[in-house]
Structure 1
Amino acid sequence: MKKEVTRKVKRIDTEVDKLRMRRKDTDTLKVKENVFDEPTLKTLYTLSNKGIIEAIGGSISTGKEANVFLAEDNEKDIAVKIYRISSSTFNSMEDYILGDPRFRNVRHSKRDIIFAWTKKEQRNLVRAKEAGLRVPEPIVAERNILVMEFMGNEGVPFPQLKDYRMEKETAKEAFDTIINYIDLLYNEANLVHGDLSEYNILIIPETEEPVFIDMGQSVTREHPRSIEFLIRDIENIARYFKKYGIREDPHQLYTTIRNKEPKNEENDL
Protein backbone atom coordinates (compact mmCIF):
# COMPACT_ATOMS: atom_id res chain seq x y z
CA MET A 1 0.00 0.00 0.00
CA LYS A 2 2.77 2.44 0.90
CA LYS A 3 4.54 1.89 -2.44
CA GLU A 4 1.27 2.43 -4.31
CA VAL A 5 0.58 5.65 -2.40
CA THR A 6 4.13 6.89 -2.95
CA ARG A 7 3.84 6.23 -6.71
CA LYS A 8 0.56 8.15 -6.80
CA VAL A 9 2.03 11.22 -5.09
CA LYS A 10 5.16 11.09 -7.27
CA ARG A 11 2.93 10.94 -10.33
CA ILE A 12 0.94 14.04 -9.48
CA ASP A 13 4.16 15.76 -8.43
CA THR A 14 5.64 14.93 -11.85
CA GLU A 15 2.58 16.42 -13.53
CA VAL A 16 3.30 19.73 -11.79
CA ASP A 17 6.90 19.58 -13.08
CA LYS A 18 5.58 19.10 -16.61
CA LEU A 19 3.42 22.21 -16.19
CA ARG A 20 6.60 24.09 -15.18
CA MET A 21 5.07 25.48 -12.00
CA ARG A 22 7.33 27.51 -9.78
CA ARG A 23 9.25 25.65 -7.09
CA LYS A 24 10.30 27.88 -4.23
CA ASP A 25 11.62 25.06 -2.06
CA THR A 26 15.33 24.45 -2.71
CA ASP A 27 15.38 21.33 -0.57
CA THR A 28 12.34 19.42 -1.77
CA LEU A 29 13.55 16.05 -0.55
CA LYS A 30 13.97 17.32 3.02
CA VAL A 31 10.49 18.83 2.93
CA LYS A 32 9.02 15.56 1.70
CA GLU A 33 10.71 13.61 4.47
CA ASN A 34 9.36 15.99 7.14
CA VAL A 35 5.85 16.36 5.74
CA PHE A 36 4.87 13.35 3.65
CA ASP A 37 4.77 10.56 6.20
CA GLU A 38 2.77 7.42 5.42
CA PRO A 39 -0.59 8.57 6.91
CA THR A 40 -0.32 11.90 5.07
CA LEU A 41 0.49 10.12 1.80
CA LYS A 42 -2.59 7.95 2.26
CA THR A 43 -4.76 11.02 2.84
CA LEU A 44 -3.35 12.70 -0.28
CA TYR A 45 -4.05 9.49 -2.18
CA THR A 46 -7.68 9.59 -0.98
CA LEU A 47 -8.09 13.25 -1.96
CA SER A 48 -6.56 12.52 -5.36
CA ASN A 49 -8.93 9.62 -5.97
CA LYS A 50 -11.86 11.90 -5.13
CA GLY A 51 -10.67 14.37 -7.76
CA ILE A 52 -10.02 17.10 -5.20
CA ILE A 53 -6.27 17.19 -5.92
CA GLU A 54 -5.01 16.46 -9.44
CA ALA A 55 -1.40 17.59 -9.01
CA ILE A 56 0.76 18.86 -6.19
CA GLY A 57 3.96 20.85 -6.54
CA GLY A 58 6.35 23.09 -4.67
CA SER A 59 6.11 24.70 -1.26
CA ILE A 60 4.40 28.09 -1.00
CA SER A 61 5.23 28.65 2.66
CA THR A 62 6.60 26.87 5.70
CA GLY A 63 5.31 27.67 9.18
CA LYS A 64 5.96 26.42 12.68
CA GLU A 65 3.40 23.65 12.40
CA ALA A 66 2.47 23.33 8.72
CA ASN A 67 3.61 23.55 5.10
CA VAL A 68 1.48 25.00 2.31
CA PHE A 69 1.89 23.61 -1.21
CA LEU A 70 0.72 24.79 -4.59
CA ALA A 71 -1.58 22.23 -6.17
CA GLU A 72 -4.22 21.83 -8.86
CA ASP A 73 -7.71 20.46 -9.09
CA ASN A 74 -9.16 19.76 -12.52
CA GLU A 75 -9.72 23.45 -13.25
CA LYS A 76 -7.50 25.78 -11.23
CA ASP A 77 -4.68 26.27 -8.77
CA ILE A 78 -5.45 25.41 -5.16
CA ALA A 79 -3.47 25.46 -1.91
CA VAL A 80 -2.85 22.36 0.20
CA LYS A 81 -1.93 23.01 3.83
CA ILE A 82 -0.40 20.02 5.60
CA TYR A 83 0.00 20.09 9.36
CA ARG A 84 3.06 18.07 10.28
CA ILE A 85 2.26 15.23 12.66
CA SER A 86 5.72 13.75 13.22
CA SER A 87 7.74 16.96 13.61
CA SER A 88 5.23 19.44 15.06
CA THR A 89 5.06 20.44 18.71
CA PHE A 90 2.29 21.78 20.89
CA ASN A 91 4.31 24.81 21.99
CA SER A 92 2.67 27.28 19.63
CA MET A 93 -0.76 25.61 19.79
CA GLU A 94 -1.24 25.26 23.52
CA ASP A 95 -2.21 28.89 24.26
CA TYR A 96 -5.05 28.65 21.75
CA ILE A 97 -6.22 25.13 22.59
CA LEU A 98 -6.49 25.49 26.36
CA GLY A 99 -9.83 27.13 27.10
CA ASP A 100 -11.27 26.71 23.61
CA PRO A 101 -14.62 24.90 24.10
CA ARG A 102 -14.25 23.36 20.64
CA PHE A 103 -11.42 21.19 22.00
CA ARG A 104 -13.32 20.14 25.11
CA ASN A 105 -14.14 16.64 23.84
CA VAL A 106 -10.98 16.08 21.80
CA ARG A 107 -8.58 13.43 23.04
CA HIS A 108 -5.22 14.92 23.98
CA SER A 109 -3.02 12.86 21.68
CA LYS A 110 -0.88 14.81 19.23
CA ARG A 111 -2.66 13.29 16.24
CA ASP A 112 -6.17 14.04 17.50
CA ILE A 113 -5.24 17.61 18.45
CA ILE A 114 -3.82 18.27 14.99
CA PHE A 115 -6.86 16.74 13.28
CA ALA A 116 -9.14 18.96 15.38
CA TRP A 117 -6.93 22.00 14.71
CA THR A 118 -7.17 21.39 10.94
CA LYS A 119 -10.94 21.11 11.11
CA LYS A 120 -11.08 24.22 13.29
CA GLU A 121 -9.18 26.25 10.70
CA GLN A 122 -11.66 25.14 8.06
CA ARG A 123 -14.59 26.25 10.22
CA ASN A 124 -12.87 29.52 11.14
CA LEU A 125 -12.38 30.33 7.44
CA VAL A 126 -16.02 29.51 6.71
CA ARG A 127 -17.24 31.77 9.51
CA ALA A 128 -14.87 34.57 8.52
CA LYS A 129 -15.99 34.42 4.89
CA GLU A 130 -19.65 34.40 5.92
CA ALA A 131 -18.99 37.51 8.04
CA GLY A 132 -17.66 39.37 4.99
CA LEU A 133 -13.88 38.98 5.26
CA ARG A 134 -11.65 38.20 2.30
CA VAL A 135 -10.05 34.88 3.22
CA PRO A 136 -9.08 31.72 1.31
CA GLU A 137 -12.23 29.71 0.70
CA PRO A 138 -11.84 26.28 2.32
CA ILE A 139 -12.60 23.30 0.10
CA VAL A 140 -12.15 20.29 2.39
CA ALA A 141 -10.39 19.29 5.61
CA GLU A 142 -9.22 15.68 5.83
CA ARG A 143 -7.24 14.56 8.87
CA ASN A 144 -4.15 16.85 8.90
CA ILE A 145 -4.72 18.33 5.43
CA LEU A 146 -6.68 21.48 4.57
CA VAL A 147 -7.40 22.14 0.90
CA MET A 148 -8.38 25.72 0.09
CA GLU A 149 -8.47 28.47 -2.49
CA PHE A 150 -5.05 29.55 -3.73
CA MET A 151 -4.54 33.25 -3.09
CA GLY A 152 -2.37 34.26 -6.02
CA ASN A 153 -2.02 34.43 -9.79
CA GLU A 154 -0.43 31.94 -12.18
CA GLY A 155 1.18 29.95 -9.39
CA VAL A 156 2.62 33.00 -7.63
CA PRO A 157 1.13 33.80 -4.18
CA PHE A 158 -0.07 37.30 -3.37
CA PRO A 159 2.58 39.20 -1.38
CA GLN A 160 2.48 39.48 2.38
CA LEU A 161 1.61 42.91 3.76
CA LYS A 162 5.15 43.21 5.10
CA ASP A 163 6.57 42.98 1.57
CA TYR A 164 4.07 45.25 -0.20
CA ARG A 165 4.76 48.96 -0.43
CA MET A 166 1.74 51.28 -0.62
CA GLU A 167 1.10 54.94 -1.11
CA LYS A 168 -0.07 56.69 2.06
CA GLU A 169 -3.63 57.10 0.81
CA THR A 170 -3.87 53.44 -0.16
CA ALA A 171 -2.29 52.43 3.16
CA LYS A 172 -5.05 54.26 5.05
CA GLU A 173 -7.68 52.40 3.03
CA ALA A 174 -5.97 49.08 3.74
CA PHE A 175 -5.67 49.92 7.44
CA ASP A 176 -9.39 50.79 7.65
CA THR A 177 -10.29 47.55 5.86
CA ILE A 178 -8.15 45.47 8.22
CA ILE A 179 -9.68 47.11 11.30
CA ASN A 180 -13.13 46.52 9.80
CA TYR A 181 -12.21 42.87 9.26
CA ILE A 182 -11.15 42.56 12.91
CA ASP A 183 -14.50 44.10 13.86
CA LEU A 184 -16.49 41.76 11.60
CA LEU A 185 -14.53 38.77 12.81
CA TYR A 186 -15.25 39.64 16.44
CA ASN A 187 -18.85 40.85 16.22
CA GLU A 188 -20.22 38.83 13.30
CA ALA A 189 -18.18 35.61 13.33
CA ASN A 190 -17.59 35.62 17.12
CA LEU A 191 -13.89 35.00 16.55
CA VAL A 192 -10.53 36.60 17.27
CA HIS A 193 -7.75 35.95 14.78
CA GLY A 194 -5.24 35.59 17.62
CA ASP A 195 -2.00 36.01 15.67
CA LEU A 196 -2.65 38.90 13.31
CA SER A 197 0.29 40.84 11.90
CA GLU A 198 1.86 41.96 8.63
CA TYR A 199 3.04 38.34 8.18
CA ASN A 200 -0.38 36.73 7.82
CA ILE A 201 -2.17 39.36 5.77
CA LEU A 202 -1.81 39.16 2.00
CA ILE A 203 -2.38 42.03 -0.41
CA ILE A 204 -4.03 41.53 -3.81
CA PRO A 205 -1.87 43.77 -6.02
CA GLU A 206 -4.60 44.57 -8.56
CA THR A 207 -7.00 45.94 -5.93
CA GLU A 208 -4.67 46.33 -2.92
CA GLU A 209 -7.31 44.51 -0.90
CA PRO A 210 -6.16 42.70 2.29
CA VAL A 211 -6.66 38.95 2.74
CA PHE A 212 -6.53 37.30 6.17
CA ILE A 213 -4.75 33.92 6.28
CA ASP A 214 -3.50 31.41 8.89
CA MET A 215 -6.64 31.15 11.00
CA GLY A 216 -6.01 27.80 12.66
CA GLN A 217 -5.27 29.50 15.98
CA SER A 218 -8.35 31.78 15.89
CA VAL A 219 -10.42 31.44 19.04
CA THR A 220 -14.03 32.07 19.98
CA ARG A 221 -15.02 35.06 22.10
CA GLU A 222 -15.55 32.93 25.18
CA HIS A 223 -11.92 31.76 25.18
CA PRO A 224 -10.36 33.03 28.45
CA ARG A 225 -7.63 34.88 26.54
CA SER A 226 -9.75 36.20 23.64
CA ILE A 227 -9.59 39.82 24.87
CA GLU A 228 -5.83 39.60 25.27
CA PHE A 229 -5.52 38.23 21.74
CA LEU A 230 -7.89 40.88 20.33
CA ILE A 231 -5.89 43.70 21.90
CA ARG A 232 -2.65 42.21 20.60
CA ASP A 233 -4.06 41.90 17.07
CA ILE A 234 -5.13 45.57 17.06
CA GLU A 235 -1.82 46.74 18.53
CA ASN A 236 0.15 44.79 15.93
CA ILE A 237 -1.75 46.42 13.06
CA ALA A 238 -1.57 49.91 14.59
CA ARG A 239 2.18 49.49 15.12
CA TYR A 240 2.82 48.36 11.55
CA PHE A 241 0.88 51.19 9.91
CA LYS A 242 2.75 53.88 11.83
CA LYS A 243 5.36 53.62 9.05
CA TYR A 244 2.73 55.21 6.78
CA GLY A 245 2.02 58.03 9.22
CA ILE A 246 -1.20 56.42 10.49
CA ARG A 247 -1.37 56.94 14.25
CA GLU A 248 -4.65 55.49 15.47
CA ASP A 249 -5.10 54.79 19.18
CA PRO A 250 -5.27 50.98 19.65
CA HIS A 251 -7.27 51.37 22.87
CA GLN A 252 -9.90 53.50 21.13
CA LEU A 253 -10.14 51.00 18.27
CA TYR A 254 -10.50 48.17 20.77
CA THR A 255 -13.21 50.04 22.72
CA THR A 256 -15.21 50.73 19.56
CA ILE A 257 -15.11 47.07 18.53
CA ARG A 258 -15.93 45.78 22.01
CA ASN A 259 -18.90 48.12 22.50
CA LYS A 260 -20.81 46.69 19.56
CA GLU A 261 -23.52 44.13 20.10
CA PRO A 262 -22.24 40.75 18.86
CA LYS A 263 -24.22 37.97 17.24
CA ASN A 264 -24.91 34.79 19.18
CA GLU A 265 -21.76 32.79 19.85
CA GLU A 266 -21.18 29.32 18.45
CA ASN A 267 -18.91 26.62 19.76
CA ASP A 268 -18.84 24.33 16.76
CA LEU A 269 -15.70 22.88 15.24
Structure 2
Amino acid sequence: MSISNVVASYNELSKLDLRVLRVIEVLHRNYEYVPVRRIVKYMNLSEEVINKSISKMNKLKLLVRRGPDNVRLTFPAYDILSIHTMVKRGVIDAIAPTPLGVGKESDVYAAESSSGDKYALKFHRIGRVSFRNTRKYRVWIGERRHITWLYEAKISAHMEYMALTEAYRAKVPVPKPRAITRHLVAMEYINGIELFKIRLSNPESVLEQIISAIEDLLRINIIHGDLNEYNILVNPSSEKITIIDWPQWMYANVKGSKTILMRDLNIILRYFKSNYGLNISIDAVMGRLAPLIPSSELPPEKVYSRLIKRITSLVS
Protein backbone atom coordinates (compact mmCIF):
# COMPACT_ATOMS: atom_id res chain seq x y z
CA MET A 1 0.00 0.00 0.00
CA SER A 2 1.39 3.42 -1.00
CA ILE A 3 1.87 6.12 1.60
CA SER A 4 -0.91 8.12 -0.11
CA ASN A 5 -3.32 5.23 0.49
CA VAL A 6 -2.08 4.88 4.07
CA VAL A 7 -2.74 8.57 4.73
CA ALA A 8 -6.14 8.31 3.01
CA SER A 9 -7.04 5.36 5.25
CA TYR A 10 -5.79 7.25 8.29
CA ASN A 11 -8.12 10.14 7.46
CA GLU A 12 -11.08 7.73 7.36
CA LEU A 13 -10.49 6.42 10.86
CA SER A 14 -12.37 7.61 13.93
CA LYS A 15 -10.88 7.96 17.39
CA LEU A 16 -12.48 4.64 18.24
CA ASP A 17 -10.87 2.93 15.25
CA LEU A 18 -7.46 4.22 16.29
CA ARG A 19 -8.06 2.96 19.83
CA VAL A 20 -8.96 -0.48 18.48
CA LEU A 21 -5.73 -0.57 16.47
CA ARG A 22 -3.74 0.43 19.52
CA VAL A 23 -5.40 -2.25 21.67
CA ILE A 24 -4.67 -4.91 19.06
CA GLU A 25 -1.05 -3.73 19.03
CA VAL A 26 -0.86 -4.13 22.81
CA LEU A 27 -2.46 -7.58 22.69
CA HIS A 28 0.01 -8.71 20.01
CA ARG A 29 2.44 -9.13 22.90
CA ASN A 30 0.54 -12.32 23.73
CA TYR A 31 -1.19 -13.26 20.47
CA GLU A 32 -0.16 -13.46 16.83
CA TYR A 33 -3.88 -13.27 15.96
CA VAL A 34 -5.78 -11.39 18.65
CA PRO A 35 -9.17 -12.83 19.70
CA VAL A 36 -11.96 -10.29 19.28
CA ARG A 37 -13.29 -11.25 22.72
CA ARG A 38 -10.00 -10.00 24.23
CA ILE A 39 -10.40 -6.65 22.47
CA VAL A 40 -13.98 -6.39 23.74
CA LYS A 41 -12.88 -7.15 27.29
CA TYR A 42 -9.91 -4.78 27.16
CA MET A 43 -11.95 -1.85 25.84
CA ASN A 44 -15.09 -2.60 27.87
CA LEU A 45 -17.30 -1.97 24.85
CA SER A 46 -19.93 -4.09 23.15
CA GLU A 47 -18.90 -6.77 20.69
CA GLU A 48 -21.14 -5.14 18.09
CA VAL A 49 -19.23 -1.84 18.31
CA ILE A 50 -15.84 -3.57 18.10
CA ASN A 51 -16.86 -5.80 15.18
CA LYS A 52 -18.15 -2.80 13.24
CA SER A 53 -14.78 -1.08 13.63
CA ILE A 54 -12.88 -4.25 12.75
CA SER A 55 -14.96 -4.80 9.60
CA LYS A 56 -14.28 -1.25 8.48
CA MET A 57 -10.52 -1.61 8.98
CA ASN A 58 -10.48 -5.04 7.36
CA LYS A 59 -11.92 -3.44 4.21
CA LEU A 60 -9.19 -0.78 4.41
CA LYS A 61 -6.59 -3.62 4.57
CA LEU A 62 -5.44 -2.53 8.02
CA LEU A 63 -6.38 -5.83 9.61
CA VAL A 64 -6.16 -9.47 8.55
CA ARG A 65 -8.68 -11.98 9.89
CA ARG A 66 -8.14 -15.59 10.84
CA GLY A 67 -11.66 -16.92 10.91
CA PRO A 68 -14.40 -14.59 12.14
CA ASP A 69 -13.01 -14.04 15.62
CA ASN A 70 -9.25 -13.36 15.37
CA VAL A 71 -7.35 -10.45 13.80
CA ARG A 72 -3.84 -9.10 13.38
CA LEU A 73 -2.36 -5.79 12.28
CA THR A 74 -0.87 -5.23 8.83
CA PHE A 75 2.10 -2.98 8.08
CA PRO A 76 -0.23 -0.18 6.81
CA ALA A 77 -1.99 -0.27 10.20
CA TYR A 78 1.38 -0.02 11.91
CA ASP A 79 2.24 2.90 9.62
CA ILE A 80 -0.95 4.64 10.67
CA LEU A 81 -0.26 4.17 14.37
CA SER A 82 3.26 5.54 13.87
CA ILE A 83 2.11 8.51 11.79
CA HIS A 84 -0.60 9.29 14.33
CA THR A 85 1.99 9.39 17.14
CA MET A 86 4.33 11.63 15.12
CA VAL A 87 1.45 13.98 14.31
CA LYS A 88 0.43 14.20 17.97
CA ARG A 89 4.03 14.98 18.91
CA GLY A 90 4.13 17.78 16.35
CA VAL A 91 6.96 16.15 14.42
CA ILE A 92 5.11 15.88 11.10
CA ASP A 93 2.20 17.66 9.48
CA ALA A 94 2.45 16.45 5.88
CA ILE A 95 4.14 13.57 4.01
CA ALA A 96 5.25 13.70 0.38
CA PRO A 97 3.50 11.01 -1.72
CA THR A 98 6.64 9.99 -3.65
CA PRO A 99 9.26 8.02 -1.71
CA LEU A 100 12.83 9.24 -1.45
CA GLY A 101 13.88 5.62 -1.54
CA VAL A 102 12.43 2.11 -1.44
CA GLY A 103 14.66 -0.72 -0.30
CA LYS A 104 14.43 -4.35 0.78
CA GLU A 105 14.05 -3.37 4.41
CA SER A 106 12.64 0.18 4.45
CA ASP A 107 10.74 2.98 2.72
CA VAL A 108 11.86 6.60 3.11
CA TYR A 109 9.62 9.65 2.59
CA ALA A 110 10.08 13.39 2.94
CA ALA A 111 7.84 15.11 5.47
CA GLU A 112 7.26 18.57 6.95
CA SER A 113 6.28 19.75 10.40
CA SER A 114 3.68 22.44 11.02
CA SER A 115 6.56 24.90 11.50
CA GLY A 116 7.98 24.07 8.08
CA ASP A 117 10.91 21.90 9.19
CA LYS A 118 11.71 19.16 6.70
CA TYR A 119 12.40 15.57 7.76
CA ALA A 120 13.08 12.17 6.28
CA LEU A 121 10.75 9.46 7.58
CA LYS A 122 12.11 5.93 7.47
CA PHE A 123 9.61 3.08 7.82
CA HIS A 124 11.40 -0.17 8.65
CA ARG A 125 9.92 -3.19 6.85
CA ILE A 126 11.92 -6.27 7.76
CA GLY A 127 9.42 -8.74 6.31
CA ARG A 128 10.25 -7.97 2.68
CA VAL A 129 13.15 -10.39 2.66
CA SER A 130 13.48 -13.81 4.21
CA PHE A 131 13.44 -14.02 8.00
CA ARG A 132 16.56 -16.17 7.97
CA ASN A 133 18.57 -13.75 5.86
CA THR A 134 17.69 -10.70 7.96
CA ARG A 135 18.21 -12.42 11.29
CA LYS A 136 21.75 -13.55 10.49
CA TYR A 137 22.74 -9.87 10.30
CA ARG A 138 20.88 -8.95 13.47
CA VAL A 139 22.96 -10.40 16.29
CA TRP A 140 21.17 -8.09 18.70
CA ILE A 141 17.94 -10.04 18.26
CA GLY A 142 19.53 -12.97 20.09
CA GLU A 143 17.78 -16.33 20.05
CA ARG A 144 14.19 -15.09 19.84
CA ARG A 145 12.31 -17.45 17.52
CA HIS A 146 8.77 -16.12 17.62
CA ILE A 147 9.15 -12.44 16.79
CA THR A 148 6.44 -10.98 14.58
CA TRP A 149 7.50 -8.93 11.57
CA LEU A 150 6.13 -5.83 13.25
CA TYR A 151 8.16 -6.42 16.38
CA GLU A 152 11.36 -7.08 14.48
CA ALA A 153 10.83 -3.93 12.42
CA LYS A 154 10.33 -2.05 15.68
CA ILE A 155 13.60 -3.35 17.11
CA SER A 156 15.40 -2.53 13.85
CA ALA A 157 14.14 1.06 13.97
CA HIS A 158 15.19 1.53 17.60
CA MET A 159 18.63 0.10 16.85
CA GLU A 160 19.11 2.49 13.95
CA TYR A 161 17.94 5.42 16.07
CA MET A 162 20.42 4.45 18.77
CA ALA A 163 23.31 4.30 16.29
CA LEU A 164 22.34 7.65 14.76
CA THR A 165 22.15 9.24 18.20
CA GLU A 166 25.57 7.99 19.27
CA ALA A 167 27.19 8.83 15.93
CA TYR A 168 25.64 12.31 15.79
CA ARG A 169 26.87 13.10 19.31
CA ALA A 170 30.35 12.05 18.20
CA LYS A 171 30.10 14.48 15.26
CA VAL A 172 30.12 11.71 12.67
CA PRO A 173 28.42 12.97 9.47
CA VAL A 174 25.00 11.33 9.86
CA PRO A 175 21.44 12.72 9.70
CA LYS A 176 20.40 14.26 13.00
CA PRO A 177 17.88 11.89 14.64
CA ARG A 178 14.63 13.68 15.50
CA ALA A 179 12.13 11.16 16.87
CA ILE A 180 11.18 7.50 16.91
CA THR A 181 8.01 5.52 17.41
CA ARG A 182 7.43 1.85 16.64
CA HIS A 183 9.09 1.10 13.27
CA LEU A 184 9.32 4.74 12.18
CA VAL A 185 12.43 6.94 12.52
CA ALA A 186 12.24 10.68 11.81
CA MET A 187 15.56 12.28 11.00
CA GLU A 188 17.06 15.37 9.44
CA TYR A 189 16.41 15.74 5.70
CA ILE A 190 19.74 15.72 3.88
CA ASN A 191 20.32 17.60 0.65
CA GLY A 192 22.48 14.95 -0.91
CA ILE A 193 22.89 12.55 -3.81
CA GLU A 194 23.99 8.94 -3.49
CA LEU A 195 27.72 8.57 -4.10
CA PHE A 196 27.19 6.29 -7.09
CA LYS A 197 25.01 8.90 -8.84
CA ILE A 198 27.43 11.83 -8.69
CA ARG A 199 30.70 12.54 -10.48
CA LEU A 200 33.05 13.97 -7.88
CA SER A 201 35.35 16.89 -8.60
CA ASN A 202 37.59 15.98 -5.65
CA PRO A 203 37.34 12.23 -5.01
CA GLU A 204 40.44 12.25 -2.78
CA SER A 205 38.70 14.61 -0.35
CA VAL A 206 35.51 12.56 -0.30
CA LEU A 207 37.41 9.32 0.32
CA GLU A 208 39.29 11.00 3.16
CA GLN A 209 35.98 12.12 4.68
CA ILE A 210 34.74 8.53 4.60
CA ILE A 211 37.87 7.11 6.22
CA SER A 212 37.82 9.88 8.85
CA ALA A 213 34.18 9.01 9.60
CA ILE A 214 35.15 5.35 10.04
CA GLU A 215 37.86 6.47 12.47
CA ASP A 216 35.39 8.56 14.47
CA LEU A 217 32.98 5.62 14.61
CA LEU A 218 35.70 3.30 15.90
CA ARG A 219 36.39 5.82 18.67
CA ILE A 220 32.85 5.16 19.93
CA ASN A 221 33.15 1.41 19.30
CA ILE A 222 30.84 1.33 16.26
CA ILE A 223 31.11 -0.15 12.76
CA HIS A 224 28.54 0.75 10.12
CA GLY A 225 28.31 -2.78 8.76
CA ASP A 226 26.85 -1.95 5.34
CA LEU A 227 29.00 0.88 4.02
CA ASN A 228 28.90 1.31 0.25
CA GLU A 229 28.28 3.83 -2.51
CA TYR A 230 24.52 3.57 -1.99
CA ASN A 231 24.63 4.50 1.70
CA ILE A 232 26.74 7.64 1.38
CA LEU A 233 25.11 10.91 0.36
CA VAL A 234 27.19 13.71 -1.13
CA ASN A 235 26.18 17.37 -1.11
CA PRO A 236 26.48 18.37 -4.80
CA SER A 237 27.91 21.82 -4.06
CA SER A 238 30.23 21.21 -1.10
CA GLU A 239 30.90 17.49 -1.63
CA LYS A 240 30.46 16.94 2.09
CA ILE A 241 29.28 13.42 2.94
CA THR A 242 26.48 12.02 5.08
CA ILE A 243 26.37 8.33 5.99
CA ILE A 244 22.89 6.79 6.05
CA ASP A 245 21.20 3.37 6.55
CA TRP A 246 22.30 2.03 9.92
CA PRO A 247 20.26 -1.11 10.78
CA GLN A 248 23.28 -3.41 10.32
CA TRP A 249 25.66 -1.52 12.61
CA MET A 250 27.60 -3.44 15.21
CA TYR A 251 29.98 -2.83 18.05
CA ALA A 252 33.66 -2.91 17.12
CA ASN A 253 34.58 -5.27 19.95
CA VAL A 254 32.16 -8.02 18.89
CA LYS A 255 33.54 -11.24 17.46
CA GLY A 256 33.67 -11.00 13.66
CA SER A 257 33.48 -7.20 13.59
CA LYS A 258 36.97 -6.80 12.10
CA THR A 259 35.88 -8.90 9.13
CA ILE A 260 32.84 -6.66 8.64
CA LEU A 261 35.02 -3.54 8.92
CA MET A 262 37.37 -4.87 6.26
CA ARG A 263 34.41 -5.71 4.03
CA ASP A 264 33.13 -2.12 4.34
CA LEU A 265 36.58 -0.75 3.51
CA ASN A 266 37.11 -3.10 0.57
CA ILE A 267 33.80 -2.03 -0.97
CA ILE A 268 34.63 1.68 -0.62
CA LEU A 269 38.24 1.37 -1.83
CA ARG A 270 37.19 -0.73 -4.83
CA TYR A 271 34.59 1.86 -5.75
CA PHE A 272 37.10 4.73 -5.73
CA LYS A 273 39.68 2.66 -7.60
CA SER A 274 37.32 1.59 -10.37
CA ASN A 275 35.64 4.99 -10.76
CA TYR A 276 38.46 7.44 -10.02
CA GLY A 277 41.68 5.45 -10.31
CA LEU A 278 42.55 5.94 -6.62
CA ASN A 279 44.72 2.97 -5.74
CA ILE A 280 44.83 2.88 -1.95
CA SER A 281 45.51 -0.46 -0.35
CA ILE A 282 43.36 -1.79 2.42
CA ASP A 283 46.52 -2.62 4.37
CA ALA A 284 47.44 1.06 4.46
CA VAL A 285 43.99 2.05 5.72
CA MET A 286 43.87 -0.77 8.27
CA GLY A 287 47.28 0.32 9.51
CA ARG A 288 45.87 3.80 10.05
CA LEU A 289 42.85 2.40 11.88
CA ALA A 290 44.76 -0.19 13.89
CA PRO A 291 45.16 1.90 17.08
CA LEU A 292 41.36 2.31 17.23
CA ILE A 293 40.45 -1.34 16.64
CA PRO A 294 39.80 -3.27 19.88
CA SER A 295 42.58 -5.75 20.59
CA SER A 296 40.18 -8.48 21.64
CA GLU A 297 36.76 -9.55 20.39
CA LEU A 298 34.00 -10.69 22.71
CA PRO A 299 31.13 -13.12 22.01
CA PRO A 300 28.05 -11.27 20.66
CA GLU A 301 25.80 -12.55 23.44
CA LYS A 302 28.13 -11.07 26.07
CA VAL A 303 28.37 -7.65 24.40
CA TYR A 304 24.73 -7.39 23.42
CA SER A 305 23.01 -8.85 26.47
CA ARG A 306 22.51 -5.51 28.22
CA LEU A 307 21.74 -3.75 24.96
CA ILE A 308 19.09 -6.32 24.06
CA LYS A 309 17.45 -5.84 27.46
CA ARG A 310 17.50 -2.09 27.01
CA ILE A 311 16.02 -2.20 23.53
CA THR A 312 13.34 -4.76 24.34
CA SER A 313 12.29 -2.71 27.37
CA LEU A 314 11.80 0.25 25.03
CA VAL A 315 9.83 -1.66 22.40
CA SER A 316 7.83 -4.18 24.40
Which of the five TM-score ranges fits, normalised by the shorter chain? 0.7 to 0.9
Quick check: 1:160 aligned with 2:194? Answer: yes
Structure 2 letter corresponding to 1:124:
A
Q: In the alignment, which of 116, 125, 135 is matched to residue 155 of structure 2?
A: 116
Q: Distance in 2 between matches of 1:51 and 1:205?
A: 31
Q: Which runs of 5+ in 2 are unaligned?
A: 1-5, 14-59, 63-73, 295-302, 312-316
1:250 aligns with 2:282: yes
Contact 1:194 1:233 in 2 (8 A): yes
In structure 1, what is the Cα distance between the partners aligned to 2:76 and 2:129?
13
Return the letter of the residue paired with 2:11: R
| Shift in alpha-carbon separation, 1:55–1:237, aligned structure 2, 3 A | same
Query: Does 2:82 correspond to 1:43?
Result: yes
Report the secondary structure of 1:241's partner residue: helix
Amino acid at match of 1:6: Y
Bigger helix share: 2
Provide closer, same or farther for how the CA distance between residues 238 and 95 of structure 1 changes in structure 2, counting only shifts above 3 A.
same
The one-letter code sitting in structure 1 at the alignment partner of 2:266 is: E
Contact preservation (8 Å) 1:106, 1:113: no
CA distance in 2, matches of 1:45, 1:201: 30
| SS of residue paired to 2:228 | coil
1:133 is aligned to 2:133: no
1:85-133: CA deviations, max 9, x gaps?
A: 66454344323212x3xx3497750332221110010010111112221
Q: What is the alpha-carbon root mean square deviation over aligned residues? A: 2.8
Which has the greater radius of gyration? 2
Match in the other structure for 1:95:
136
- The letter for the 1-side match of 2:180 is A
- Contact 1:160/1:203 (<8 A) preserved: yes
Number of corresponding residues: 233
Residues 220 and 73 from structure 1, CA distance in 2 versus in 1: closer, same or farther, beyond 3 angstroms? Answer: same
TM-score by length of 1: 0.77
C-alpha contact 1:96 1:218 (8 A) present in aligned 2: no
In structure 2, the residue matched to 1:238 is 269
Aligned match of 1:73 in 94, 113, 120?
Answer: 113
Residue in structure 1 matched with residue 11 of structure 2 by the alignment: 7
Q: CA offsets, 1:142-201, max 9 Å, x none?
A: 11111111112xxxxx2100011012xx11011111011111111x22111111111110
List runs of 5+ in structure 1 lacking aligned partners. Answer: 10-31, 153-157
> Are 1:212 and 2:243 an aligned pair?
yes
Alignment of 1:163-182 (within 5 A): 163-167=197-201, 170-182=202-214
Single out whichever of 85-94 and 248-257 deviates more from structure 2: 85-94
Q: Check the 8 A contact 1:8/1:45 in 2, yes or no.
A: no
Q: 1:93–1:217: 8 Å Cα contact kept in structure 2?
A: no
1:137-156 to 2 correspondences below 5 Å? 137-152=176-191
1:203 matched to which residue of 2? 234
1:190-227 residue CA offsets vs partner (Å, 9 max, x unmatched) = 11111111111000112101110001111112332211
Query: CA offset at residue 33 of structure 1?
Result: 7.7
Query: Deviation at 1:72?
Result: 0.6
1:223 and 2:264 aligned: no
Query: Aligned equivalents of 2:238 and 2:127: distance in 1?
Result: 40
Aligned to 1:19: none
Greater shift, 192-201 or 34-43, is seen at 34-43
